[in-house]
Amino acid sequence: MSERRVYLDHAATTPVLPAVIDVVAATMATLGNPSSLHASGRHARKLVEEARESVAAGLGARPSEVVFTGGGTEADNLAVKGLYWARRAADPRRVRVLASAVEHHAVLDSVDWLAAEQGAKVEWLPVDAAGRLDVAALRRVVEADPESVALITVMWANNEVGTVQPIGEVVALAGEFAIPVHSDAVQAVGALPVHFADSGVTALTVSGHKVGAPVGVGALLLRREADVVPVLHGGGQERDVRSGTIDTPAIAGLAAALRATLADVPARAAAMTALRQRLVDGVLGVVPDAVLNGAPGAGLPGIAHFSFPGCEGDALLLLLDAAGIDCSTGSACTAGVPEPSHVLLAMGAPRERARGSLRFSLGHSSTTDDVDALVAAIGPAVERARAAGIVNVSTRGN
CATH number for the domain spanning 223: value is 3.40.640.10
Are residues 143 and 277 both part of a single domain? no
Rg of the Cα atoms in the chain: 22
Are residues 28 and 115 both part of a single domain? yes
CATH number of the CATH domain containing 345:
3.90.1150.10
On whether residue 29 sits in a domain, the answer given is: yes
pLDDT at position 335 is 37
On whether residue 13 sits in a domain, the answer given is: no
314 burial level (CB within 10 Å; 0-12, 13-18, 19+): middle
Domain coverage including residue 282 = 264-395
On whether residue 12 sits in a domain, the answer given is: no
Are residues 247 and 268 both part of a single domain? no
Q: Cα 281 to chain center, whole Å?
A: 26
Are residues 242 and 291 both part of a single domain? no
pLDDT at position 334 is 38
On whether residue 11 sits in a domain, the answer given is: no
3-state secondary structure of 358: strand
On whether residue 249 sits in a domain, the answer given is: yes
Are residues 158 and 88 both part of a single domain? yes
Are residues 70 and 209 both part of a single domain? yes
Measured between alpha carbons, how far is 299 from 363 in angstroms, rounded to an integer? 15
* Domains: count for the chain: 2
Catalytic residue positions, numbered? 333
Measured between alpha carbons, how far is 283 from 281 in angstroms, rounded to an integer? 6
Are residues 24 and 90 both part of a single domain? yes
pLDDT at position 212 is 98
On whether residue 4 sits in a domain, the answer given is: no
Are residues 68 and 103 both part of a single domain? yes
On whether residue 97 sits in a domain, the answer given is: yes
Measured between alpha carbons, how far is 254 from 227 in angstroms, rounded to an integer? 25
Are residues 75 and 96 both part of a single domain? yes
What sign results for the dihedral spanned by CA atoms 225, 228, 229, 234?
Answer: negative
Q: Are 352 and 291 in contact (CB under 8 A)?
A: no
CA-CA distances (angstroms) from residue 218 to 266, 321, 350? Answer: 23, 30, 35
User: Which of 240, 261, 282 represents a domain boundary (last residue)?
Assistant: 261
Are residues 170 and 290 both part of a single domain? no
Are residues 198 and 296 both part of a single domain? no
User: Which of 226, 242, 261 represents a domain boundary (last residue)?
Assistant: 261
Q: What is the pTM of this model?
A: 0.94
User: Which of 261, 277, 311 represents a domain boundary (last residue)?
Assistant: 261
The pLDDT profile of the chain, 398 residues, written as one tens digit per residue, is 447 899 999 999 999 999 999 999 999 999 999 999 999 999 999 999 999 999 999 999 999 999 999 999 999 999 999 999 999 999 999 999 999 999 999 999 999 999 999 999 999 999 999 999 999 999 999 999 999 999 999 999 999 999 999 999 999 999 999 999 999 999 999 999 999 999 999 999 999 999 999 999 999 999 999 999 999 999 999 999 999 999 999 999 999 999 999 999 999 999 999 999 999 999 999 999 999 999 888 899 999 999 999 999 999 999 999 999 999 997 544 334 568 899 999 999 999 999 999 999 999 999 999 999 999 999 999 999 999 876 453 334 44
On whether residue 10 sits in a domain, the answer given is: no
Are residues 271 and 313 both part of a single domain? yes
pLDDT at position 231 is 97
The residues near 136 (Cβ < 8 Å, ≥ 6 apart) are none
> How is 138-195 classified by DSSP, letter by letter?
HHHHHHH-GGGEEEEE--SB-TTT-BBP-HHHHHHHHHTTT--EEEE-TTTBTTB---
pLDDT at position 332 is 45
For residue 232, what is the DSSP state?
Answer: S
CA-CA distances (angstroms) from residue 153 to 123, 133, 140, 146, 185? Answer: 11, 11, 16, 15, 11
pLDDT at position 283 is 98
